Structure 1
Amino acid sequence: MNGAAGAVLEAADLTLDYVSDNGRVRAVENVSFAVTKGERLVLLGPSGCGKSSILKTIAGFIKPSEGSILLDGRPVTKPGPDRVVVFQEFDQLLPWKTVRENVAFPLKVARGKSQAEAREIAEQALVRVGLARALDAYPHTLSGGMKQRAAIARALATAPEVLLMDEPFAALDALTRTNLQSDLLDLAEELKFTLVFVTHAIEEAVLIGTKLHLLSAHPGRTLATFDTKGFGRDKLGTTEFQEIVRDINAALFARPAGAAA
């Protein structure tokens, strides 16, 4: 099966259903998008629109009801080290291992690195995210922001083909969130990784993404796509930035044709 030309990752007519006590519930309907190498795709939409479900399907945790997820033109059927997820929850680290051991562990298990190689790569990744002084700390001693830095370091250390982030900064205070957004952009510029990022915050979506895929309220359907490349930190507060935020807001909350006023 071939995907879109040049696409590393592609959702092709993706539909997701869940079975509940009340029967089958549709979470996502007929969503398609393509991501090329080094792009940062943001999935944006209201709570319950299926953003996280799409991310879990990309990760291989959920099977599509219809359509498919393609990685390098091949259907995704299960989880793999080529896709790594950073979740919103702070407690993603193994509490009995140090920060360095947490980052090194998947390198040994999923990438077959020796203990010495894994340790060296882990240290490099942790230094890169600003945790050089916390290598031997245990997760319970870290702040929420430090835990997320460690989770990002662990994900990047395995060199996944696609990095998946599910509202990773949503539970942080405003200052820490801003700092981590900036750090993520620095890492993206340095490492040129491919990213799929889920959020319901419009300004964060514009800042982080080079491409934005806007989803409707439940069930999630494609409302619009926006080219957000070039709206980085230097554009924050500018007229251009605020205009695209207003355009996205208008598309997100547009009243359907024929709806009562």
Structure 2
Amino acid sequence: MDDVSFRAGRGERIVLLGPSGCGKSSILKAVAGFLTPASGAIKVRGREVKGPGPDRIVVFQEFDQLLPWKTIRQNVEFPLRVASKLSKAEIRERTETALGKVGLERVIDSYPHTLSGGMKQRAAIARALVTDAEVLLMDEPFAALDALTRSQLQGELLDLAEELGFTLLFVTHSIEEAILIGTRLHLLSPHPGRTITSLDTQEFGREDVGTARLENLTREVHDLLFLPKIRKDVLENV
């Protein structure tokens, strides 16, 4: 990566979009505190990120992020038991509330191997929400799901973002998903990843699925990412 810079305000949903190998996941891991930037700095509320912290929670694509020997309740409770000073009653209440928000109250005492991929992802999201983190980091969380489950979880994520007001940094390879999830797209060039441009997409929502205007923007974003000459012409006219 080279010269990548952006800001994310409270409640914004920033989507990193670019070809494989451009550094999207590396940016996410650096914001999470798992990687140290070669240059520059990452700050949350004005304080430089030096490592992982409870203010930033990561949800990965892989479904094995849940501990298989613990129930869904125990998985969601885990970060609170490790890092908080809440009472057992408070932990129980927050866990049940978070699982209710993602529609998993009926399987709260089930084990991960008994759940579908989509339900496991909901549990991982609940585990992130239970900590009241300010920043939610998601690395292609819906990529391995079928189309219907993916669409459903996209909608649930948007509802939770509206309700809870967390800042979202989201990585995806899907241009349409990026437009629907994000309030702003940050486009990256092929390796080494550089900023191409940022696009405001907050006017787009689920009601735009299948519309001409969504298809037109999807095509425009594709051209910006993959067709250098068109990218140059478009940006010169912005």
TM class, shorter-length = over 0.9
1:103 aligns with 2:76: yes
Unmatched tracts of structure 1, length 5 or more: 1-27
Q: Is the 8 A contact 1:38 1:192 kept in 2?
A: yes
1:135 aligns with 2:108: yes
Partner of 2:61: 88
Unmatched tracts of structure 2, length 5 or more: 231-238
The code of the aligned residue for 2:195 comes to: T
Mapped partners of 2:82, 2:160: distance in 1: 24
Identity %: 66
- SS of corresponding position for 2:65: coil
Instruction: Provide the aligned length of Structure 1 versus Structure 2.
Output: 230
Mapped partners of 2:201, 2:153: distance in 1: 19
Q: Is the 8 A contact 1:214 1:225 kept in 2?
A: yes
Instruction: Give runs of aligned pairs for residues 42-191 of structure 1, distance below 5 A.
Output: 42-191=15-164
- SS of corresponding position for 2:8: strand
1:196 aligns with 2:169: yes
Q: Which has the higher strand share?
A: 1
Residue 226 of structure 1 is aligned with which of 174, 191, 199? 199
* Shift of residue 222, structure 1, vs aligned partner: 0.6
- SS of corresponding position for 2:63: coil
Mapped partners of 1:46, 1:119: distance in 2: 42
The code of the aligned residue for 2:142 comes to: F
1:250 aligns with 2:238: no
Mapped partners of 1:116, 1:256: distance in 2: 60
Runs of 4+ in 1 over 4 A off after TM superposition: none
* Shift of residue 116, structure 1, vs aligned partner: 1.6
* Shift of residue 239, structure 1, vs aligned partner: 2.2
* Shift of residue 194, structure 1, vs aligned partner: 0.7
* Shift of residue 129, structure 1, vs aligned partner: 0.2
- SS of corresponding position for 2:127: helix
Partner of 1:237: 210
Q: Which has the higher contact order (CA 8 A, sep 6+)?
A: 2
- SS of corresponding position for 2:170: strand
Measured against aligned partners, the alpha-carbon deviations of 1:183-208 in whole angstroms (never above 9, x if no partner) come to: 11111111111100000110000000
- SS of corresponding position for 1:225: strand
Mapped partners of 1:241, 1:256: distance in 2: 22
Measured against aligned partners, the alpha-carbon deviations of 1:140-164 in whole angstroms (never above 9, x if no partner) come to: 1111100000000000110101000
Greater mean alpha carbon deviation, residues 204-213 or residues 244-253: 244-253
Partner of 2:2: 29
